[in-house]
């Protein structure tokens, strides 16, 4: 079984071809970073136009690299939401058009489900597992019980983790995108020089909060101004450590819940763009070691937005007999 996947919900235009033996036959991603950089963030209008300009030839490129003709695919999957609606519309329209032309089934994939199921593409992983989804728009802990069966254990009550990275990068003048810039500065800095809060630490639920930490960083910057290069690096390091430890505390709580519900520890899967963060990966490796969980961290190119994860999630649904009609309407919001 072979599925063509399309992703266009944020600032990556992507197409991929995936086979049910977990082979990624082609995976093409075009980042719009340069188009959005002058504005310091993603501009929805610019994103939608860029998707429209590039998606056709990215699909052609993915098919050509995979050596698979459209006629040989079994289904077409496209991100149906949640995301920036203009981009999602471009992807859904393209997916439907290809499906109609080729006479193939169309599957609308929840972008979050794409992130949630990626680990089953990269690893031999059975349900249930614990998922930590940390991206620019989302921050949640889920028990993944099966395809389409997700139990939310906790979520952010304000900002997403990636959003906090992006905002702190802006405050420190580190440039865009924020996460990788903060990580680079943090690698040069001393995480112990400044004390920052660990939001929600010790609370009995599994929820996250980052706005207080972000505010503490703002006050610290005002207090230290004007900042030297070393101050910047030390603040970045302190912030990154605070985020990693806060996420670890919440994840540990979820591990306890998971083990109680499903009869013992299992796999902890980390997904979303922030999963690329090296400090977070180190901290999660530590807590996995302490709790008997197996940490599964897909390769970085499959942690950030891509179409292989959409093709794979589409394939998981398709082999269970699911598909969508041509009347599927793109969804700006679509909780898992
Ligand atoms: O999953 P993703 O590619 O897009 C969605 O939000 O769906 O995640 C992007 C987010 C951005 O906020 C970016 O700053 C963050 O992931 N990010 C990182 C790192 N690389 C990307 N955050 C921390 N450290 C990184 N190395
Ligand atoms: Zn994403």
CA 179, CA 159: separation in Å to the nearest integer?
A: 14
Which is the closest atom of ligand 1 to the Cα of 111?
Answer: 7
Query: Looking at the chain, how many residues does it have?
Result: 336
Crossing angle, helix 229-262 and helix 211-224, to 10 degrees? 160
Taking CA atoms only, the protein residue closest to ligand 1 atom 18 is 179
Q: Provide the 8-state DSSP code for 156.
A: B
Strands (E), the chain: 2-7, 12-19, 23-31, 75-81, 106-110, 129-134, 139-146, 149-155, 267-271, 294-296
Spell out which residues have Cβ within 5 A of ligand 2, the ion: 135, 305
Testing ligand 1's pocket by substitution, the residue of 114, 274, 283 carrying the most ligand atoms inside 8 A of its CB is: 274
CA 20, CA 259: separation in Å to the nearest integer?
A: 30
Angle, CA of 45, 29 and 53, to the nearest 5°: 40
From ligand 1's centre to the CA of 63, what distance in Å? 27
CA 271, CA 274: separation in Å to the nearest integer?
A: 8
262 φψ region: left (φ > 0), alpha (ψ -120 to 50), beta (else): alpha
pLDDT tens for 216-271 read 999 999 999 999 999 999 999 999 999 999 999 999 999 999 999 999 999 999 99
Angle, CA of 317, 323 and 325, to the nearest 5°: 155
For ligand 1, say whether the CB of 272 is within 6 Å of any of its atoms: yes
Taking CA atoms only, the protein residue closest to ligand 1 atom 19 is 179
pLDDT tens for 144-176 read 999 999 999 999 999 999 999 999 999 999 988
Q: Is the pLDDT of residue 330 over 90?
A: yes
From ligand 2's centre to the CA of 116, what distance in Å? 10
Considering the domain delimited by 125-297, tell me its CATH architecture.
2-Layer Sandwich (3.30)
Its pTM stands at 0.94
Query: Any bridge partners for residue 24, and if so which?
Result: 18
For ligand 1, say whether the CB of 235 is within 6 Å of any of its atoms: no
Which ligand has the nearest atom to the CA of 170? Answer: 1
Residue 136, annotated as binding a ligand: yes
Residue pair 208/132 in contact (Cβ under 8 Å)? The answer is no
Query: Any bridge partners for residue 81, and if so which?
Result: 110
Give me the chain's average pLDDT, please. 96
Cβ-based neighbours of 126, under 8 Å, separated by 6 or more: none
pLDDT tens for 190-199 read 999 999 999 9
For ligand 1, say whether the CB of 10 is within 6 Å of any of its atoms: yes
Q: In what order do the strands lie in the sheet with 23-31?
A: 23-31, 12-19, 2-7, 75-81, 106-110
Complex ipTM tops 0.90: yes
Q: What count of Cα atoms within 13 Å lies in the side-chain half-sphere of residue 25? A: 24
Q: Is the pLDDT of residue 88 over 90?
A: yes
For ligand 1, say whether the CB of 135 is within 6 Å of any of its atoms: yes
226 φψ region: left (φ > 0), alpha (ψ -120 to 50), beta (else): beta
Residue pair 254/206 in contact (Cβ under 8 Å)? The answer is yes
Q: Is the pLDDT of residue 42 over 90?
A: no
> What are the boundaries of each domain within the chain?
2-117+302-318, 125-297
Superfamily of domain 2-117+302-318: ATPase, nucleotide binding domain (3.30.420.40)
The CA–CA distances, whole Å, from 24 to 110, 118, 224, 306, 311 equal 20, 11, 49, 12, 9
For ligand 1, say whether the CB of 239 is within 6 Å of any of its atoms: no
> Do 2-117+302-318 and 125-297 have matching folds?
yes
Q: What is the mean pLDDT of residues 35-58?
A: 91
For ligand 1, say whether the CB of 92 is within 6 Å of any of its atoms: no
For ligand 1, say whether the CB of 276 is within 6 Å of any of its atoms: yes
Q: pLDDT value at position 124?
A: 95
Q: pLDDT value at position 336?
A: 87
């Amino acid at each position: 079984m072979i599925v063509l996947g399309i992703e266009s919900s944020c600032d990556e235009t992507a197409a991929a071809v995936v086979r049910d033996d977990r082979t990624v036959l082609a995976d093409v991603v075009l980042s719009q970073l340069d188009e959005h950089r002058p504005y310091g963030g993603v501009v929805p209008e610019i994103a939608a136009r860029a998707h429209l300009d590039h998606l056709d030839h990215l699909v052609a490129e993915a098919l050509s690299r995979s050596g698979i003709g459209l006629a040989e695919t079994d289904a077409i999957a496209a991100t149906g939401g949640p995301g920036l609606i203009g981009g999602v519309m471009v992807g859904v329209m393209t997916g439907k058009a290809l499906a109609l032309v080729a006479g193939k089934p169309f599957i609308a994939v929840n972008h979050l489900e794409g992130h949630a199921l990626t680990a089953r593409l990269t690893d031999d992983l059975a349900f249930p597992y614990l998922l930590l989804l940390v991206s620019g728009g989302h921050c949640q802990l889920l028990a993944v019980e099966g395809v389409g069966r997700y139990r939310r254990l906790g979520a952010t009550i304000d900002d997403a983790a990636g959003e906090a990275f992006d905002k702190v990068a802006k405050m420190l003048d580190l440039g865009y995108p924020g996460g990788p810039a903060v990580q680079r500065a943090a690698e040069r800095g001393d995480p112990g020089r400044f004390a920052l809060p660990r939001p929600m630490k010790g609370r009995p639920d599994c929820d996250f909060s980052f706005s207080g930490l972000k505010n503490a960083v703002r006050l610290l910057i005002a207090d230290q101004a004007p900042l030297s290069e070393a101050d910047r690096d030390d603040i970045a390091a302190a912030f990154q450590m605070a985020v990693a430890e806060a996420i670890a505390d919440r994840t540990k709580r979820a591990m306890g819940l998971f083990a109680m519900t499903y009869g013992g520890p299992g796999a902890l899967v980390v997904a979303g763009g922030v999963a690329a963060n090296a400090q977070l990966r180190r901290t999660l490796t530590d807590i996995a070691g302490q709790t008997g969980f197996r940490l599964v961290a897909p390769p970085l190119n499959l942690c950030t937005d891509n179409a292989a994860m959409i093709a794979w999630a589409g394939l998981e649904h398709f082999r269970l007999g699911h598909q969508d009609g041509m009347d599927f309407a793109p969804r700006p919001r679509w909780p898992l």
